[in-house]
Amino acid sequence: MPLSKTALNQVIRPVTARVNPLGNWDIGSCDLAELVKTYGSPLYVLDEASIQSACRAYLQALREHYPGPSEVLYASKALCNLAVNRLIHEEGLTTEVVSGGELFTVLKAGIPAESVTFQGNNKSFEELRYALKEGVGRFVVDNLDELDLLSTLAEEIGISPNVMLRVAPGIEAHTHAFIRTGEIDSKFGLDLPSQLDEAIRRISRRPLLRFLGLHAHVGSQIFDVEPFVATVEVLLDLCAKLERDYGLPVAELDVGGGLGIAYEAGDDPPSIDAAIEAISLAMIRGTSQRGLSLPKLIVEPGRSIVGTAGATVYTVGSRKAIPEVRTYVAVDGGMPDNPRVVTYGARYSVDRVAAGDNEELVTLAGKCCESGDILIKDIQLPKLKAGDHLVVWDTGAYCFSMASNYNRLPRPAMVLVAEGHSEVIRERETFADMVSRDRLPSRLGGQR
């Protein structure tokens, strides 16, 4: 059955978002004003149905468009906690981690280590040993140093890890365009062609390492299919080269993540289905042109799995109107719970939880002692007063995972909502948490 034309990553609100008969915004049939009453403010709300819908869209698109084997890795850096990892695993995705902390979380969530892929450009000795001992399914080796470290550790432990090699394909994806760069300036991946050749030579001398294939990831919040197609082309050229030069078949190709989502009206990323279709076609055409068999196709989305599912509910506090300049309305969170605005100039959409007609132009400010702590500049909203609630959409990806305690603001709770039911999946931090790891030295009165 074809997917609907508008996919989750092309809309601004979760699939279950609607205005209820009381006139308030609901997610998962839970009234956001009620949620804040129960769980406090600010509050991250996560829609289970939206996550499921995104996972299913990827799996269905691959079934429909790619005749070979395939796998969807959830890039857990986008949002990593027990419930989210577990939910996505149960939807049939496997998991990508980039640190010992993410690996620990994923294993605690009950996800088998064999279904985990370990990424990252500077995995430490301890992280690699931990991952090897746990039996992690794949190591995406980023550089020659890591290859040596991994093989030494594998020999010590007596384990045969599965290895993919990450290459720097010379493709840079921006939100609305991409470029092929002649010279490659990136901290990620093996430089082509010499470091890849060297890695293959080293692997051939280390029989414990099981070479599976190649990996590339060219960016995030991508709004075109072209960078993905270009990545496939580069990777397939390398597959042909490895077969020709070393007689080495490439069983798996990982084309990375990065598909964008709509944050504002007018944002127009390709749908999950369209992106997978373009990648699949490039794989089918490219392998046949080069006389290669179809490798396993791996994609590793993060944002497009959890981004649209998440929203942050805030409570309005103070207001400052500067005549003929601007009206600031401050909320009870900001850059600590959503660092994307100040970090990337990211833009978001917002609604008053008690839905209403737009009446005034305001700028939503956070509560941090920093002028840059602005959530949304110049936005039309219904008239706001202290105590009103606002919902900022699309905060599921890279907000909680990049959140801080700046100004010692405790990180908000996160609730998972589905069919009228809500449950805390991450407790709100407390003031006591803020000092729990502080220590007074003894000369200032601390206990030894």
Residues forming a β-bridge with 374: 365
Span near ligand LLP by CB under 6 A; candidates 214-222, 227-235, 270-278, 380-388:
214-222
Binding mask 10-49 for ligand LLP (x = CB under 6 A): ----------------------------------------
**What is residue 253's three-state secondary structure?**
strand
Query: What does the block give as tokens for 310?
Result: 């998440």
Q: Least distance in Å: CB of 291 to ligand LLP?
A: 29
For residue 142, give every residue at least 6 positions away whose Cβ sits within 8 Å of its Cβ, in sequence order, or none.
Answer: 119, 120, 121, 122, 123, 166, 188, 189, 190
Distance (Å, whole) CA 38 – CA 33 = 9
Instruction: Decide: is 138 part of the binding site for ligand LLP (CB under 6 A).
Output: no
Closest to ligand LLP by CB, 220 vs 315, is 220
Span near ligand LLP by CB under 6 A; candidates 145-153, 176-184, 295-303, 385-393:
295-303
Distance (Å, whole) CA 256 – CA 213 = 13
Closest to ligand LLP by CB, 166 vs 206, is 166
Report the first-to-last Cα separation within the chain, whole angstroms.
67
Q: Give exposure, 63-85, as e/b (b: 16+ Cβ within 10 Å).
A: eebbeeebbbbbbbbbbbbebbb
Q: Least distance in Å: CB of 154 to ligand LLP?
A: 22
Residue that is written with structure tokens 């279950």 in the block: 16
Residue that is written with structure tokens 């915004």 in the block: 25
Residue pair 319/337 in contact by the 8 Å Cβ criterion: no
Instruction: Decide: is 303 part of the binding site for ligand LLP (CB under 6 A).
Output: yes
Instruction: Decide: is 302 part of the binding site for ligand LLP (CB under 6 A).
Output: yes
Q: Least distance in Å: CB of 46 to ligand LLP?
A: 16
User: Which of 55, 368, 369, 399 does the annotation list as catalytic?
Assistant: 369
Instruction: Decide: is 220 part of the binding site for ligand LLP (CB under 6 A).
Output: yes
Closest to ligand LLP by CB, 16 vs 221, is 221
Pairing of strands 374-381, 296-299: unpaired
Distance (Å, whole) CA 355 – CA 203 = 60
Torsion angles phi and psi, residue 303, rounded to 5: -55, -45
Q: Least distance in Å: CB of 258 to ligand LLP?
A: 4
- Selected from 78, 107, 214, 235, the binder of ligand LLP by CB under 6 A is 78
Closest to ligand LLP by CB, 47 vs 142, is 142
**Count of chain residues binding ligand LLP (CB under 6 A):** 19
Subset of residues 165 to 204 that bind ligand LLP, contact rule: CB under 6 A: none
Span near ligand LLP by CB under 6 A; candidates 168-176, 178-186, 253-261, 317-325:
253-261
Instruction: Decide: is 340 part of the binding site for ligand LLP (CB under 6 A).
Output: yes
- Selected from 138, 206, 217, 426, the binder of ligand LLP by CB under 6 A is 217
- Establish whether 369 is a catalytic residue: yes
- Selected from 122, 344, 383, 408, the binder of ligand LLP by CB under 6 A is 344
CB atoms within 10 A of CB 352: 18
Distances (CA, A) of 289 to 23, 171, 237, 250, 251: 57, 21, 10, 16, 17
Query: What does the block give as tokens for 109?
Result: 């969530």
Span near ligand LLP by CB under 6 A; candidates 123-131, 250-258, 354-362, 380-388:
250-258
Pairing of strands 43-47, 413-418: parallel
Task: Kindly list the catalytic residues.
Answer: 369
- Residues near ligand LLP (CB under 6 A) are 75, 78, 119, 217, 220-221, 256-259, 300-304, 340, 344, 397-398
